[in-house]
Structure 1
Amino acid sequence: MTIARTDDGVDLYYEETGGGTPIVFVHEFAGDMRSWEYQMRHFGKWYRCVAFNARGYPPSAVPPDAASYSQQRAVADILTVMDHAGIDRAHIVGLSMGGFAALHLGLRHPGRARSLCVAGVGYGAEPERQALFRHESEVAAAFLLEHGMEAFADRYAVGPTRLPFKNGDPRGFEEFRRQLAEHSALGSANTQLGVQRERPSLYSLPEELRTLTVPTLILNGDEDYPCLAPGLMLKATIPSAALSVIPNCGHTINLEAADAFNRVVGDFLVQAESGRWPVRQARNSGDSITGMSAHADAVRQ
């Protein structure tokens, strides 16, 4: 068992496989490092792959106080694992909660990221949805503490954006639900309260997002409706962002469409490593549709 200890004394469990350029995988709220098994096996053939359990997810430690959990802590925990593994720079691949952490790592510590894959990001990000998301995080935390993990998994796993997974791959979905039921109720409740509820809206960070030049892939499933509009916003705002959408796929894209996910991410990593990843210029983002309006204005001047 490989353990990295954070500066606030929390033990984080991680595993690695393969060799070469490092990739760090950061899991979603309903997952853990086991959720990345398809990716660890696939990318471990060519890369040094690292996956870890976030704080609150055994065998990582479960701090009892929700104040020990935050978006900033989630970013710092990625860096703790990287430092312990002797990794200076890595491709960071995150899904949902892990995608938020990957993006914030790129904003705060761009020198530590070779690239960012920001997958399934957007829940509660839109300003008009933020109050509802905060309320649902509080309801989820209360349910976890009152009814336990098994009952929570039975409800949470069949949320609207998980149904494509359930309908398309019943056996894979049942494994996902069973692993979710094995999580810590306390750790999951604290994650809801400290990380999910309190993270800043992406729409409040336009100036920071415009400074990001690390190669970035925004990746969503087309049935994951809460993430589609935020994904477009990120594509339009981040100068170094590409956008890819996997068809007929919900939120759990690395599991329900593992082959497509691996193919898109693999192509992205090769391009990001090439040294020729494009960064969009300001002139590419004007209001004109064809460019003729801007041309006419220039002629008149």
Structure 2
Amino acid sequence: MELNYRFKDNDFEETVLLMHGFLSDMSSMEPAAGHLMEHFNILFVDLPGFGDTKAGGDYSMDDVSDALAALIMSRWGAVHVAGYSMGGRVAVSLIINHPGVIKSAVLESASPGISDPAERKKRQELDRKRADSILSDYVSFIDAWEKMGLFQSQDFADAGQRMRQRENRLAQNPYGAAESLINYGTGTQKSYWADLPGVSVPVLLLAGEKDGKFAAINQRMEELIPESRLEIIPGAGHNIHMEAADKFGIIVLEFLIGG
């Protein structure tokens, strides 16, 4: 699996890998780089199915983290990682499967998967339906996606930011987006809940105050990950780095610099 990436060399010793969410690409993480640019090099990556990373055929979440680990080792040896939503799930897989390439992790609105087999099966069925909808009428799917309760808090975000987010979503390849759901969506990926107590790197967990579902998930994660800290961001929903960019940058930077 060949990953499309962009390295922003700011002439620092350490690098932060930023990983985007579903229906977007590396460019959507540029606001998240914000304050980090002043202290770290930034590695942007298009995850499989998005941007210019094309990954046809069968592959799994573990294959995605294997490809990322190979990329990191090829040039940087080890990096800090920050992943949002889908990118956060990928980051969990990376720190579980390849802890040696990760110095610390920031998990924004992330999850280690679904542990209950019955719930996983329900989610697989939902993801298949969503994949069918994407392939049937991508624009209509985006319209419905943006009206989900998960993103209601973004109604009060900057109009320009919301427009750029929508344009980025519409720019994605529907086939790649559908493929990502089938191959490494929440229902398909293995559950990493049982692996969390063995995480050996410092982890910052971020959840929005208005995102009750993921706030609860991350509270459970904090209980299981030995060296972790949870920050609930006031006034923010699922996409913290867009809805509260300055607060996101300050909290993440303090975590990364402070270790």
Q: Same fold (TM over 0.5)?
A: yes
Asked if 1 retains the 8 angstrom alpha-carbon contact of 2:113 and 2:192, the reply is: no
The residue number in structure 1 matching 2:83 is: 94
The residue number in structure 2 matching 1:13 is: 5
Residue 248 (structure 2) pairs with residue 261 (structure 1): yes
| Counterpart Cα distance in 2 of 1:41 and 1:239 | 28
Counting only pairs closer than 5 Å after superposition, residues 56-135 of structure 1 correspond to structure 2 as 56-63=49-56, 65=57, 67-68=58-59, 70-84=60-74, 86-122=75-111, 125=114, 127=116, 129-135=119-125
Q: Which residue type is aligned with residue 71 of structure 2? A: V
Counting only pairs closer than 5 Å after superposition, residues 196-207 of structure 1 correspond to structure 2 as 196=185, 197-203=187-193, 205=194
| Counterpart Cα distance in 2 of 1:229 and 1:144 | 29
The residue number in structure 2 matching 1:185 is: 174
Return the offset for 1:268: 0.6
Asked if 2 retains the 8 angstrom alpha-carbon contact of 1:123 and 1:133, the reply is: no
Asked if 2 retains the 8 angstrom alpha-carbon contact of 1:125 and 1:230, the reply is: no
5+ long unaligned stretches in structure 1: 1-5, 273-301
Asked if 2 retains the 8 angstrom alpha-carbon contact of 1:222 and 1:245, the reply is: yes
Compute the RMSD of aligned alpha carbons: 1.9
| Structure with max Cα Rg | 1
| Counterpart Cα distance in 2 of 1:26 and 1:134 | 23
5+ long unaligned stretches in structure 2: none
Work out the number of aligned pairs and report it. 256
The residue number in structure 1 matching 2:135 is: 145
Length-normalised TM-score, structure 1? 0.79
Residue 50 (structure 2) pairs with residue 50 (structure 1): no
Length-normalised TM-score, structure 2? 0.91
Return the offset for 1:129: 4.4
Q: Which residue type is aligned with residue 14 of structure 1? A: R
Return the offset for 1:125: 3.2
> SS of the residue aligned with 2:4?
strand
The residue number in structure 2 matching 1:212 is: 199
